[in-house]
Amino acid sequence: MKYFVMILFSSIFIGCSSSTKKKELIKKQRPNVLFISVDDLNDWEGALMGNNQVKTPNMDKLFSEGVLFTNAHASQPVCTASRNSLLSGIDPTVSGWYSSTSNMRKNYDTVMANHKMLPEYFKDSGYNTYAAGKVFHSGESDFPKKTDDYWTAYSPHFWNNMEPNIKANGYGYKGTMFYPFPEGGGQLVQLYGQDTINNYYKENNRFYSLCGGPLEDEDIPKDGMYDEQIAKWAINKIDSIQDKPFFLSVGFIRPHVPYTAPKKYFDLYPIEDIVVPEVPENEFEDIPMMGKSIAYGYTPNGGWADVTAKKEILPELVQSYLACISFVDDQIGKVVEALEKSPYADNTIIVLWSDHGQHLGEKKHFRKQALWEETTRVPLFFKVPNNVSNGQRSGQVVSLLDIYPTITELCDLPRLPKLGGESLIPLIESPASKTDRAVLSTWYYKNHAVRSNDWRYIQYRDGGEELYNHKIDPGEHTNLANNPKYTDVIAAHKKWLPTYDAIPAGSTEWKGDNLDRRIEEWKTNDSIPVWLK
């Protein structure tokens, strides 16, 4: 019996000693990083107050435990370009990476010479690097030949081999990671008819992804929504024993279109209670032609004309977007909870960001790909262990380009010379600080928005301008650019415009694009839509 007791206590002692040594080892090594991205998420979180109906308890709780940047903006309001600028730390006006992934590959070696993508830098610095879901636009990488340089391991593409009934509802939509679609394809499929979609738009214009609706159990992949599977894969990594510090990047897909989620999330937002964005009838009286062309979007008659063709569509889209946000909020909560219960909790930096915002009718525009507030403003959050300023907010305007230099400095990695952003550590330590800095957002070639703490200035490539005072006009309804009273304000913001704009990757000269061609057609045929006048 004495021998048994000695063995028992010895085992307990060894177990406790081993656990203690493990915790001590974790504390001594560089901090881990949990790097959470959320696709197409604007400021509709409770903490950012972009919509007072939204329910995001998990993000709100998380945001109260670190430093939330309430005035953060994307460098490009489209997935591919924004993510590649953030992960490279290089501004699109320097790289020429404005849109096409295939074109980005053509000058990758030139842009990235003597430089590294963020996960590659961490991996080469001794980290285990993991990717789950949509980190780059295509998943774990937009550059297949470089994928293994970036990651120690990455999740499968859960959206491969989807069930036939789920695939059928998408009418050939090629972004398979974004399924499931609503039953019957959604609002615009039903508006235009299935034959019209199949015969005219299926291959060359997938506008009908602007839709939403609740999913019953039979409409959901048998292993769960892809974001649920992404969360599960990430949690398994957190629960694993790590022999090195880790950089775990978790890319959630919702609330990207189609706005679908399990029905229980729609039940949080009864359709009769939905409040849609207020849009003045004369919203476009003072908007330049390039702004009108951007707002038109990609649907057959322009986003506003199509969505307002039936009074039910806009409330349904708002309800669906809200439901998707609450759904992804739950997935974020699962991953964060797993980290909090792990031995890595006290030595892990949490970063949460979205690649760009989203319009739900503001400025008569839908989705992203514009230069107004709703499409550039995003949540950006850092939780740094033992930071005395955790729980505070910073209203200083910042850029997603600041993430790379900030996270590497927090992990004691040398700053790379090609990085375009600024380290946010001074603001993380002192969130109340303010500077006169402004940040740049670009929509395709030579269309720029400069956002300062109180103003937004837009300059289009055809010379058109917009200026908004966010102190008194947060909805950006009154363009002050033509008022001589604000000449000095415009001049101050012009100083933040790039002195050189790189030609789009894959091109040797600028020949215009669909925005220019649409304006020319309107002028030639005197056919600008009434709702844009």
- The DSSP H or E segment spanning 393 is strand 393-394
Q: Partners of 309 in the beta sheet?
A: none
A 10 A CB-CB count for 503 gives 13
Burial 159-176 (b: 16+ CB within 10 A, else e): beebeeebbebbbebebb
Q: What is the DSSP string of 92-158?
A: HHHH--SS-HHHHHHTHHHHTTT---HHHHHHHTT-EEEEEESSBTTBS-S-GGGHHHH-SEE---T
From the number of C-beta atoms within 10 Å of its C-beta (0-12, 13-18, 19+), residue 495 rates as exposed
β pairing state of 455-459 and 465-469: antiparallel
Nearest to 70 by CA among 469, 395, 411, 512: 395
Q: Which residue, 94, 277, 300, is CA-closest to 197?
A: 300
SS (H, E, C) 257-291: CCEEEEHHHHCCCCHHHCCCCCCCCCCCCCCCHHH
Set 16, 73, 115, 137: catalytic member:
137
Rounded to whole angstroms, the Cα distance separating 462 from 170 reads 38
Place of tokens 């400025």: 363
**Would you say 401 and 378 are in contact if contact means Cβ atoms under 8 Å apart?**
no
Handedness of CA 296, 442, 507, 173 (dihedral sign): negative
Is 79 among the residues known to form the active site?
A: yes
Task: Please count the other Cβ atoms lying within 10 Å of the Cβ belonging to residue 102.
Answer: 10
Give me the long-range contacts of 520-526 (CB less than 8 A, separation at least 24): 522/289, 522/293
| DSSP H or E segment with residue 215 | strand 212-215
Element (H, E) at 33: strand 32-38
Q: How far apart are CA 519 and CA 299, in angstroms?
A: 16
Q: Give φ, ψ of 235 to 5 degrees.
A: -65, -40
| SS3 (DSSP) at 318 | helix
State the catalytic residue, choosing from 16, 73, 79, 359: 79
In the chain, what is the straight-line distance between the N-terminal and C-terminal CA atoms, in Å?
92
493 catalytically annotated? no
* Active site residue ranges: 79, 137
